[in-house]
Each structure stands twice: as C-alpha cells, then as structure tokens.
Amino acid sequence: MGYIILGDKNRLAIEVSGVKSDSDLMGYARLWLDGVVLGDFSEYIYLDGYLLGGLHQMLNIGWITDEGLPTDIDQQFQYFEKKSTEGDDVGIDSYRVSFGTMTDSFDMWSYRKDNAITLIWRLREGRSVRDLDSSMVIYREYKIFCVNGLSSCI
C-alpha cells in the first residue's frame, strides 16, 4: 500500500493511503502538524467527507472572546471540558473539531483568536495510535496565522 504525502510533515501535511481510484475518494488519511501525527490509518474513511470536512470545520471555527481562556494548553483543555460538561456555556461545543473516525483516538478543540486559528489536541486516555508514542501527544497546539481574513491564512 503506497503513501502520498501532500505538504511538509514538519509544518502541515496530509498523508493518504489506500485510494483505489480517483472516483472512489475513500482511503486512509492522517494529518501531520509540526512533525506530530494527528489521525490514525486504522479507519478507511470518506476523504471528501471526514478529512476535508474536518479541515473546513477548523477553518470556519468561531472567534473566542472569553478573556478567561488560559494560555496554557493543559488548562485550555480543562476550560473547554469544564464548560462543556457543566453546560454553563451552550455554545462551547461549537469549538469541538472532528475529522470523523480517523481522529476517534483524539480530543480536539479549535478556536480563532488574535489573528490565528488554534487547534489543540491530545490522545485520549487508554488509546494508542500506530507510529505514535502516547507521550508525544499529551497536549499539542497548532496555529494557522491569518492576516486580513481566511484568504491569507498560511
């Protein structure tokens, strides 16, 4: 089974495998963000649904205006999970991101603030991902910086 890597694994890349034809649009996929994998090749997915849908969701994520959002990634997870669990912020789950079954092993949140889209993720407790040491993804952060709107994201 051959792999196709689009982009640079050390910055941003999509790795795809197992696509049988151009019209099939199904295969295995995962993302690479700053050299760390996000996703798992264990699930055969709809590439135009799960993969592109997750990227679209992340790029269209809402602005977060709460000044109480911590800067520490560990505390950010606690912030989002507490608000989601306690139900004291009905819109908080709109910051939850999913790439379908390819990211079932991860908890992910994304938000827009300070001209950047930030994605934070961690490997769920008790989960493992091929090619990933669980200690690599306690908490990770990836920022896409935007100037003058999404059309200029880099």
pLDDT tier, 154 (very low <50, low <70, confident <90, very high otherwise):
very low
Q: What is the pLDDT of residue 95?
A: 92
The answer to whether 113 touches 126, Cβ cutoff 8 Å, is no
Amino acid symbol at 134: S
Per residue in 89-115, pLDDT tens? 778 889 999 888 888 888 889 998 887
pLDDT tier, 130 (very low <50, low <70, confident <90, very high otherwise):
low
Per-residue pLDDT, averaged over 47-55, amounts to 88
Per-residue pLDDT, averaged over 14-43, amounts to 83
* Pick from 34, 50, 67: nearest CA to 143: 34
Q: Looking up tokens 């908890």, which residue turns up?
A: 107
The full length of the chain comes to: 154
Indicate the average pLDDT of the chain.
80
> Rounded to whole angstroms, how far apart are CA atoms 131 and 128?
9
Q: What is the pLDDT of residue 24?
A: 74
Whether 87 has a pLDDT exceeding 50, the answer reads yes
Largest CA distance in the chain: 48
Q: What is the pLDDT of residue 149?
A: 47
pTM for the full predicted model: 0.78
Bridge partners (DSSP) of residue 120 are 109, 141
Q: Looking up tokens 């690599």, which residue turns up?
A: 136
State the DSSP H helix or E strand holding residue 86, giving kind and residue range, or none if neither. helix 73-86
Whether 79 has a pLDDT exceeding 60, the answer reads yes
Q: Which two tokens stand for residue 128?
A: 């493992």
Of all residues in the chain, the percent with pLDDT exceeding 90 is 5
Per residue in 11-28, pLDDT tens? 888 999 888 877 778 888
Q: What is the pLDDT of residue 147?
A: 46
